[in-house]
């Protein structure tokens, strides 16, 4: 597997005597921050911590208690919730009840979505839902003509929007480049949820997108592809050809403060093995770099 080969090659470089660099006043990085080691050609990576999460679509066929059990088993505590677990028209009591189930299990709902918005009323509903849920990030796919109204809501509520790219077949936002071109002149609270699999299928390099659009990258959906083509299907992270070490270097380079959420779309009736393997691979790359 190409991605695994790249990871192992990178790991070998990291072991062969490359110097570690310490941030001013921080002391040695050894044993303190797994991302504080050197990048390619001995360039020191800045200190940062990447947070791992799960995109709620992973649990399409899994009830709330099952999702909680799986997240606890793999030690992931960040969730972007989908509306099949908590419908957008839920009462305040229902919202607090479902949120309470996750909170009691040590899981933070950090975002909601993907939420589609085709009218001003649907924009209002999404922001009301996020406010009631207590999150400050909506993963969204609003119709482009609604963006001026979405921008008003971002400004008035302080809730950010991360627009999700959905691949070549998507008429609205096929590539993260399309998302960026729509938001680059709008409020800084409007950015991207970078789906790395869909980005690659649309011809974009996820690591380059991270670097080029750093200030607008709010969230990530991470997965892998067996091949890079328009019709490729997502597979378990680390089993494909996407350059995950390169992506992680880029995220560290921009000091990414958001969440890297696994979106597992295989074996959706039993996503646990794929989620566990994806999480293990991601953590292994992080520790190596």
Identify which has the larger pLDDT, 267 or 6.
267
* Structural domains of the chain, count: 1
The answer to whether residue 6 is domain-embedded is: yes
The answer to whether residue 37 is domain-embedded is: no
Q: Quick check: 7 pLDDT over 70?
A: no
pLDDT of residue 281: 98
The answer to whether residue 129 is domain-embedded is: yes
The answer to whether residue 215 is domain-embedded is: yes
The answer to whether residue 30 is domain-embedded is: no
pLDDT of residue 2: 52
Q: Which domain holds residue 128?
A: 2-10+49-288
Q: Quick check: 187 pLDDT over 70?
A: yes
pLDDT of residue 8: 47
Q: Quick check: 20 pLDDT over 50?
A: no
The predicted model gives 191-206 an average pLDDT of 98
Q: Quick check: 228 pLDDT over 90?
A: yes
Task: Say which range, 8-17, 90-99, 119-128, has the weakest mean pLDDT.
Answer: 8-17
The answer to whether residue 23 is domain-embedded is: no
Q: Which long-range contacts (CB under 8 A, 24 or more apart) does 274-278 make?
A: 274/236, 275/54, 275/58, 275/70, 275/74, 275/76, 276/73, 276/74, 277/236, 277/237, 277/238, 277/239, 278/222, 278/223, 278/224, 278/236, 278/237, 278/238
The predicted model gives 248-259 an average pLDDT of 97
pLDDT of residue 19: 28
pLDDT of residue 271: 98
pLDDT of residue 6: 53
pLDDT tier for residue 4 given thresholds of 50, 70 and 90: low
Q: Quick check: 15 pLDDT over 50?
A: no
pLDDT in tens, 25-78: 222 222 233 333 333 334 445 545 899 999 999 999 999 999 999 999 999 999
The predicted model gives 77-84 an average pLDDT of 98
The answer to whether residue 282 is domain-embedded is: yes
pLDDT of residue 254: 97
- Percent of all residues in the chain with a pLDDT value above 90, rounded to a whole number: 83
The answer to whether residue 108 is domain-embedded is: yes
pLDDT of residue 180: 98
The predicted model gives 224-233 an average pLDDT of 96
pLDDT of residue 268: 95
Q: The CATH number of the domain where 273 resides is what?
A: 3.20.20.150
């Amino acid at each position: 597997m190409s991605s695994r080969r790249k990871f192992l090659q990178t790991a070998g470089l990291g072991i062969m005597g490359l110097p570690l660099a310490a941030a001013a006043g921080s002391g040695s990085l050894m044993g303190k921050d797994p991302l504080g080691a050197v990048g390619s050609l001995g360039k020191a990576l800045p200190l940062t911590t990447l947070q791992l999460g799960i995109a709620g679509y992973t649990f399409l066929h899994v009830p709330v208690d099952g999702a909680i059990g799986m997240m606890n088993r793999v030690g992931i505590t960040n969730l972007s919730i989908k509306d099949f677990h908590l419908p957008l028209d839920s009462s305040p009591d229902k919202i607090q009840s479902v949120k309470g189930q996750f909170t009691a299990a040590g899981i933070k709902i950090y975002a909601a979505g993907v939420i589609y918005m085709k009218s001003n009323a649907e924009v209002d509903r999404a922001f009301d839902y996020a406010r009631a849920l207590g999150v400050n990030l909506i993963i969204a796919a609003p119709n482009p003509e609604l963006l001026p109204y979405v921008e008003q809501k971002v400004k008035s509520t302080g809730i950010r929007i991360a627009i999700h790219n959905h691949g070549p077949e998507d008429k609205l936002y096929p590539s993260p480049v399309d998302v960026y071109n729509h938001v680059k002149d709008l409020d800084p609270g409007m950015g991207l949820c970078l789906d790395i699999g869909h980005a690659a299928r649309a011809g974009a390099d996820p690591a380059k997108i991270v670097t080029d659009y750093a200030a607008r990258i709010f969230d990530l959906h991470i997965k892998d592809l067996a091949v890079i083509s328009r019709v490729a299907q997502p597979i378990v992270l680390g089993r494909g050809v996407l350059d995950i070490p390169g992506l992680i270097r880029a995220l560290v380079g921009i000091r990414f403060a958001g969440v890297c959420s696994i979106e597992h779309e295989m074996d959706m009736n039993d996503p646990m093995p794929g989620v566990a393997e994806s999480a293990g691979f991601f953590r292994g790359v992080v520790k190596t770099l």
